[in-house]
Amino acid sequence: PVTKTKTKPAPAPAPAAAAVQEVVVPKPAPVPEAAPAVEEVAVPPVEVDTGSPLWRMAHGREVLLQGFHWESHNHRWYDIMLEKVPEISACGFTGVWFPPPSDSIAPQGYLPRDLYKLDTSYGSMDQLKRVVSAMEEHGLHAMADIVINHRCATSRGSGGKWNRWEGTRMDWDERAICSDNPDFGGQGSHKRGDDFTAAPNIDHSQDFVRSDLKEWLKWLRSEVGFKSLRFDFTKGYAGEHVGAYIAACQPEFAVGEFWDTMQYGGGGGVGS
């Protein structure tokens, strides 16, 4: 006989658990502490004596612009400077360094000849005066570049050498040239500074030389309107003369160009 076995049905699978959504509860933002009360203190304005010498430098307000470069003489430079005056003032500059103003063998102005002749490669004397005047109207002071360590002659003198300045307001001769300048037949005193070999070195110990230069500097101040001075190659003559020239013409301020002479070794380093 066949025995039948009853098979129990498989239990139904348990229902899947319902998905639980995780809820992130943001932390409360920290409450900033109250800032301490600040007591306002009235600061009185700084009193500035604009009539004192170097007042802008004393108060950190002097910003000088070099108003030319080595190739400026190739352009109508005084006209360009005139156009730029409002912009220069708006940028915060307080003064502008001008190129040497006088007649020169070199177009850049650093081999001067007739110091009173101000028609140069940069422009005419009238153009120069207009620029200087415009700068004063915009609160800028014009700085003249004073090249008086040396001066190129206008004519030949003793020994057939270039050592006289005939036909100029500073009608000097061999006595105005230092005796250390054999190439130019100088008959003045020994030089008290470094030699500049390209031109006759001026003997500032001569009374007539100092007198003429003082009058010229005062003329630059009164006739042209320069307020400040930059003395070129001051290592070429005694500093006491620079002081005397400054005292004579009373510029707003003055600076001098002075650098140490360096010798370079074979490796390009600076040696003694």
Residues with catalytic roles: 232, 257
- Report the C-alpha gap between 272 and 261 in whole angstroms: 10
Query: Any idea what DSSP says for residue 110?
Result: S
CA 12 distance to own-chain centroid: 98
- Report the C-alpha gap between 185 and 178 in whole angstroms: 9
Name which of 166, 124, 168, 146 is nearest 218 in CA terms: 146
- Report the C-alpha gap between 131 and 118 in whole angstroms: 13
Scanning the structure block, which residue is given the tokens 């400054």? 246
Burial class (CB in 10 A: 0-12, 13-18, 19+), 106: middle
In order of 42, 49, 103, 159, the CA distances from 59 in angstroms are: 21, 10, 37, 55
**b/e string for 64-81 if b means 16 or more Cβ within 10 A?**
bbebbeeebbeeebbeeb
In this structure, are residues 151 and 240 in contact, taking their beta carbons and an 8 Å threshold? no
Four-point Cα dihedral 134, 138, 141, 143, nearest 10: -40
In order of 98, 127, 238, the CA distances from 215 in angstroms are: 20, 22, 19
